[in-house]
Amino acid sequence: MAERIISSPQNPYVKLIKRLRTRRGPGRLGKALVEGVRLVEEAISSGAEVEFFVRSRSFEDESCLERARSLGVPVLVLEDALFRDVMDTETPQGLAAVCATRLLSSEHLPEGDLFVILDRVSDPGNLGTIIRSSDAAAADGVILLKGCADPYGTKALRAAMGSTFHLPIIKADTVEEVAGHLRHMGVMLLAADLEGRDVFAVDLRIPVAFVIGNEAHGISPGVKHLVDEVVRIPMPGGAESLNAAVAASILLYEAIRQRRAGGSL
């Protein structure tokens, strides 16, 4: 498909991109702005539904452009100054794509034995990092309860480094929507909190779903009431708490460690 040169900031495509930069834009529109060569390539490789590509006039990576053109969707060319103006990153690489978002409902929760449930994790950087760690740990899905940041916001996408396109992301208003499905699969729900049983003494070789709470307030009372057990990560040092993304990563890799160890914790 032939490229189309756009120079006006009032162009409908440009206006759409600007809306997708806003905090609420991607979730509301069902589209996401994917910036940078690596993230665009990850989106293409994962089979994401690309609606159109955007490149700056000076972008010259022909192999990347040929791959984009092969999908048969529009490729828009923006003057460099306009491209920099509409992108979210301070130093854009010259290539972006607008893709349809892929969020599953609780009715389409996949089968599995390792999940992460996020309860009002509102920082997009934390959210994206948790998605990245979950992907690295081969988790079967990340479940977002009401109040979480948008996984398809530009900051969350950058923090996830392409992992958003690799694993199921499920949206649910409440933990009740997914608790029944998970327990039917034999999955135990474990809430991470400052008070609870030492997680290193908990058998994580069975199917588990780790619940990670809000950065400032932790797990909400309603969610904590529904989990099977509350666990804590021991902190023998002077820190009072751990970053939500760090806590999620530790829990995921403790599960991996135990499962690889076989018979012993």
- Decide if 55 contacts 94 (C-beta within 8 A): yes
Examine the pLDDT at 265 and tell me if it is beyond 90: no
Residue 206 confidence (pLDDT): 96
CB-CB neighbours of 159 under 10 Å: 23
Examine the pLDDT at 37 and tell me if it is beyond 90: yes
Residue with tokens 């979950």: 134
Residue 89 confidence (pLDDT): 87
Residue 28 confidence (pLDDT): 65
Residue 64 confidence (pLDDT): 87
Q: What amino acid is encoded at 21 in this protein?
A: R
Examine the pLDDT at 14 and tell me if it is beyond 90: yes
Distances in whole angstroms, Cα of residue 58 to Cα of each of 46, 94, 124, 172? 27, 7, 30, 42
Mean pLDDT of 23-43: 84
Residue 223 confidence (pLDDT): 93
Examine the pLDDT at 2 and tell me if it is beyond 90: no
Examine the pLDDT at 86 and tell me if it is beyond 90: yes
Percent of the chain with pLDDT over 90: 84
Residue 27 confidence (pLDDT): 63
Q: Under the phi-then-psi rule, with left for phi > 0, alpha for psi from -120 to 50, and beta for the rest, what region is 222?
A: alpha
* DSSP characters over 57-113: TT---HHHHHHHHTTTS-EEEE-HHHHHHHSSSSS--SEEEEEE---EEGGGPPP-S
**pLDDT tens digit string along 148-177?**
999 999 999 999 999 999 999 999 999 999
